[in-house]
Amino acid sequence: MQKLQICVLDLVCKGPTNTLWARIMHANLASIMPQVIATWCEQEGHQVTMICYTGSEDLSKEIPSNVDLLFISSFTQAALLAYAISNYARSKGAVTVLGGPHARCYPDDAIQYFDYVLGFTNRLTIMEVLSSCTAQRPVGKYLSAGKQPADLCGVRERWKFIEPTLQKAPFLKIVPMLGSVGCPYTCPFCIDASVPYQSLDFQVIKEDLRFLLEKFKRPWVAWHDPNFGIRFEENMEAIASAAPPKSFRFIAESSLSVVTEQRVKVLQDNGFMALLPGIESWFDLGNKSKTGRITGDEKVRQVSDHVNMIFGHIPYVQTNFVLGLDSDSGTEPFELTKRFIDRTPQVFPGYSLLTAFGEAAPLNLEYQQAGRVLPFPFHFLNNHLAMNIKPKNYDWVDFYDKVIDLTAYSFSPKALYKRFKSASNFSTRWMNLMRAVSSEGYGRLRFFRQVRKNLISDKSFRAYFEGESKQLPPFYYNVIKKDLGVWWEWLPEKALLHNENAYYEKTSECKICTAPPVKVG
Ligand code: SF4
């Protein structure tokens, strides 16, 4: 096989940026799969350049000018940047490949802008791309292994690509690791709900942890597992057998249902510093928080006690909520969350606006069939800049009023003071404060207020939200143009639009007469 000049680009942000948060944290958000692909390509004998794009790099200089094959990994919020970079690289003669969550969620859109689009990817998928490596235009080729790979390169194998990424992080350096893929739960909105749970090789995990102790005194490790606590005993055994207690500092996502007090103590002994459990709703998904059928105020009390118990052992907890679920109506869900914050002052609340990411979850078929999905450009699909599903039980202005009220409450001086005062260490205080004053707290609040103002004052803006018009409001157009910076010039003209019902249209095709499906919306 001809030796190829390959570049693997991991987009952790959606445009050039130089904020304090970006400079300190973006390199810590690197994904694992681009590093695995870079490793596989090199093992196949190719020349590989890996770039973790944190927003400050000049990609026109860093992507090698003679690149044959450019892999880009992107979340949907960075898709327009990915499309623009692909357009640029193709103009220089490169073949381009898209992988990552956006490729899985919107493959039919992405194949218009890439030569290859990858769904589930294993080593054979990559070898197929490497061996063909030819331009596929005007429409690219979609490849998928059908399921997640059972083997991925560990930290030692990926280290060549991890190290330069971590060098971009000035203080905190977090190594991404994976103990499992998929999730046994079936939260209907989640991309991992339909991926069968499988744990990865515990032997590799142990070796990687030992390897990290050669590199750092007390390594920080973020487990990228969708739900870390599932094979709890095996994971803890792997950590405990790798080194003495508290040799590491870990961050993990886990549902509350698997984090009992006994297990929290084990987590504490093993150096867990931050947990991110999903609560999602006070009226639904009780299985995740071990509250069963209990809802409303009783669930708040139970979950709050549970989270306060965790704080007795783990210094940082972020609880995640989804706003706008069909199970919610009226002011109660928002007021209950405020009550939860009062009862659990240390917690950092993470809010997501309900979003349908293309083919990510079967529930999206229902939303598309009902004509409830709005065509917000991908740039805004990051769970907070836009809610692309018309709420079932709220009028838009009413909904934004409640979201603004809750966000303002969560990041009010009183809440920040209580969070600051009750935090158990300096890093926790610093992290809470930085997140509150950055785009996550105050920045979001400003954006929500502007959207609410536009909903009231601009009829065409409101018509877009109601699904009565597909004309993108200039407000959103201008945000994209500003955020993409130099890459705006390379954005393909049609890329601002996508078919928001593509998933439903392709799956609802009549199997008997092959008649085209009925359009919705
Ligand atoms: S528990 Fe978490 S990872 Fe698992 S399906 Fe639900 S939201 Fe997804």
Provide DSSP, 101-137.
HHHHH-HHHHTTT-SEEESS--HHHHHHHHHH-----
**Residue ID of nearest Cα to ligand 1 atom 8:** 190
| Residue-level pLDDT at 520 | 36
What is the whole-number distance in angstroms between the Cα of residue 188 and the centre of ligand 1?
9
- Bridging pattern class, strands 198-199 and 180-181: antiparallel
Does residue 170 lie in a domain region?
no
Residue 134 in domain = yes
CATH number of domain containing 104:
3.40.50
Give a yes or no: residue 338 inside a domain.
Answer: no
Ligand 1 atom nearest residue 193's Cα: 5
Report the atom number in ligand 1 closest to the C-alpha of 280: 7
The residue type of 185 is Y
Q: Is residue 87 part of a domain?
A: yes
Does some domain include residue 25?
yes
Ligand 1 site residues, Cβ closer than 6 angstroms? 183, 185, 187, 190, 192-193, 226-227, 255, 278, 288
Residue 514 pLDDT? 46
Domain total in the chain: 1
Which segments of 74-210 are extended strands (E)? 95-99, 116-118, 141-143, 174-177, 180-181, 198-199
Please tell me the distance between residue 256's alpha carbon and the centre of ligand 1 in angstroms.
11
- By most ligand atoms within 8 Å of CB, the mutation choice from 195, 224, 288 for ligand 1 is 288
Question: Considering only CA atoms, which residue is closest to atom 6 of ligand 1?
Answer: 187
Q: What whole-number distance in Å separates Cα of residue 60 and Cα of residue 17?
A: 16
Using a cut of 0.85, tell me whether the model's pTM lies above it: yes
User: Is 238 inside a domain boundary?
Assistant: no
Domain region containing 134: 5-143
Phi/psi for 70 (5° steps) reads: -115, 115
Tell me the CA–centroid distance for residue 418 and ligand 1, in Å: 30
Q: Give me the pLDDT at residue 362, please.
A: 87
How many angstroms does the Cα of residue 286 sit away from the middle of ligand 1?
12
Q: Is residue 78 part of a domain?
A: yes
CA of 251 to the centre of ligand 1 (A): 17
**What was the pLDDT predicted at 160?**
97
* Per-residue pLDDT, 227: 83
Asked if 144 contacts 132 with a C-beta cutoff of 8 angstroms, the reply is: no
Name the stretches of the chain with pLDDT < 70. 285-292, 509-521
130 within some domain: yes
The per-residue pLDDT of the chain, averaged, comes to: 92
Name the DSSP class of 57.
Answer: S
- Look at residue 287 in the predicted model and tell me its pLDDT: 62
Tens of pLDDT along 336-388? 999 999 999 999 999 999 999 999 988 999 999 999 999 999 999 999 999 99
Count Cβ atoms below 10 Å from residue 146 Cβ, excluding itself: 8
